[in-house]
Each structure stands twice: as structure tokens, then as C-alpha cells.
Amino acid sequence: MKLGFHISIAGGFKNVYKRAKSVGCQTIQIFSRNPRSWKYKKIDEEDSEIFKKQIKEYEIAPVFIHLPYINNLGSADDILFTRSVASLIEDLRRAEKLNAQYLITHCGSNPDLEKGIKRMSMALNQALSETNNKIIILIENTAGSGNEFGYKFEHLQDILSELDPKRTGIVLDTAHAFAGGYDLRTEKGVNETINKLEKTVGIERIHLVHLNDSRVKLGSRKDRHWHIGQGEIGKGLEFIVNHPALKHLPFIMETPRSGVKDDLMNIAAVRKMIRNS
Ligand SMILES: [Zn+2]
Ligand SMILES: [Zn+2]
């Protein structure tokens, strides 16, 4: 299993490697630009070349790009929807320029769940047809706050069923799954959740686990990440990291951090949970 964190790109891509190394990353997730703005600059060639060289030299792989938060690929609003699709296409191109293998997108929101799901499939198909590269788009399950869809695995299955399986898959976020109603606190609960995934999206469509504990209770439909083993899921995460269906996957943490010590604490907590078998 490879472990990593979401790493800040502040000051340029050239700064990512040393941050990743200082907290023991074997894989990383980054934004390709400011996640809270529609504006962006072109990727600086010199900066990205340094980044790519470092990542290759130190064998940090895979590299996951996370789409900005402001996108809504299921939006009922045509202007926001069109903007979001354009933004997705831009990030697919940026992911290629950064030698990333994957682009992660959250599910969108729409007061009409079914329409939202249809629009999301449309958006992804459009972006895939307009970019002819090898980047795989991963759809992330959500906590289901507000009108967000994607908190049930069936929603992900409905979106994926319209898409090319070679260029799409999912990310399983443990904090989101728990907030969305999947009980991950016990071995039984984890097994039931994995069975559900198997019957819906299929295990082979999972490419990544976002390993996060949850600050909020089961089914609370709120997105609040917490430190590994210290939240409402707690020890249950041990059954996730050791599950035969998941343990070969990369695991990325998006846990709270006020400094390097938080990341070091969380990665140590995961390493302690891993059973050698
Ligand atoms: Zn996540
Ligand atoms: Zn989250």
C-alpha cells in the first residue's frame, strides 16, 4: 500500500516535492490551481519541469490532481454547468502537463437528484471526448450535504454506467461514506460496505481511497474530516486499510493540518494499523 497526503502547491509546483518528502508521501494529491477561483494562470514550464523531474526521481506515484471545489458538474444552472465543464477540460489538460495519472472530481449538486446525475454523466462524456489523453477521471463519493448527490454508491454506479470504463473510476472517501450513512466502525460494517461497492460500482472501479476519519456522526450528511483513529470511525479504519479488496490501493489522507506534526501523527497512526500478512 502506498500512503500520501494532499500537498499544497503554494509558491509553485517546485515546492511540492520537499513538502511531500517531509511527511513521508509515496503518492500525492495536489490542485493544479487555486481551488476557490475560476481564474487561473498558464502552467509555468520551468516550474512544472522541476516538479516532474523530482516526482520521477523519487518515485512518487501515482500523482492525483483534484478539481477545484467551485465546479458543479451536475448543476441545474446552464451557465454554471458550462463553466464547470470547461473547467474540467482545462484540468484534464493540466493533469497531462503535470504527468499526473488521475483527475479527481466531486459529484455535483442539483435539487433534482436524477437530473443532476444525468448532467454529471453528460459533463464527463463531453470532457472525455474533447481531450484525447490518458488521464483517468475519478468520481468521489460525497457526504451528501445540501443537494449534493453521490453519497450513495448507486449514484456513482448510475454516473459510471454512461462512461468509458477505461477512462473513469471512483475514489472512496471514508469520512464521506460514513457521513453518507455507511457504518465503517466495525469489521462487519466495513465488510457490508465493501459488498455494497462490489454490487454497485464494482471493486475494480476503485482506484484510490481517501482515508479520513470523521468529526461527525454516522449518517449526519456533513463533510468534516478528522485525524486518523480520533474521530467517529476510529478503530474501524483498521478494517479499511487491511481489507483484501482495498489494501493494494493508494491511500491519500486529507486530514486537518496546522503543521507537519499533524501529518506525521496521522501517517504514523495508519502505519500502526497495517497488519503484515
Ligand atoms: Zn476526499
Ligand atoms: Zn471531504
Report the distance separating Cα 56 and Cα 211, nearest Å.
24
Give the Å distance between the CA of 225 and the centre of ligand 2: 6
Q: Give me the helices (H) in the chain, please.
A: 16-22, 45-57, 78-97, 113-130, 153-160, 174-179, 187-199, 237-241, 260-273
Quick one: pLDDT at residue 276? 80
> Using alpha carbons only, what angle is made at residue 18 by residues 15 and 23, rounded to the nearest 5 degrees?
130
Report the distance separating Cα 194 and Cα 122, nearest Å.
27
Give the Å distance between the CA of 49 and the centre of ligand 2: 30
Quick one: pLDDT at residue 277? 61
* Element containing residue 213 per DSSP (H, E): strand 213-214
Cβ pair 267, 23 in contact under 8 A = yes
Report the distance separating Cα 34 and Cα 36, nearest Å.
6
Give the three-class secondary structure for 182.
Answer: coil
Quick one: pLDDT at residue 133? 92
Give the Å distance between the CA of 175 and the centre of ligand 2: 7
CATH number of 2-273: 3.20.20.150
pLDDT tens digits for range 232-257: 999 999 999 999 999 999 999 999 99
Give the Å distance between the CA of 90 and the centre of ligand 1: 21
Give the Å distance between the CA of 266 and the centre of ligand 1: 15
Positions in the chain whose pLDDT score sits under 70: 277
- The residues near 135 (Cβ < 8 Å, ≥ 6 apart) are 92, 95, 96, 100, 101, 102, 103, 167
Cell of 115: 437530473
Report the distance separating Cα 257 and Cα 255, nearest Å.
6
Q: Where are the domains of the chain?
A: 2-273
Give the Å distance between the CA of 277 and the centre of ligand 2: 31
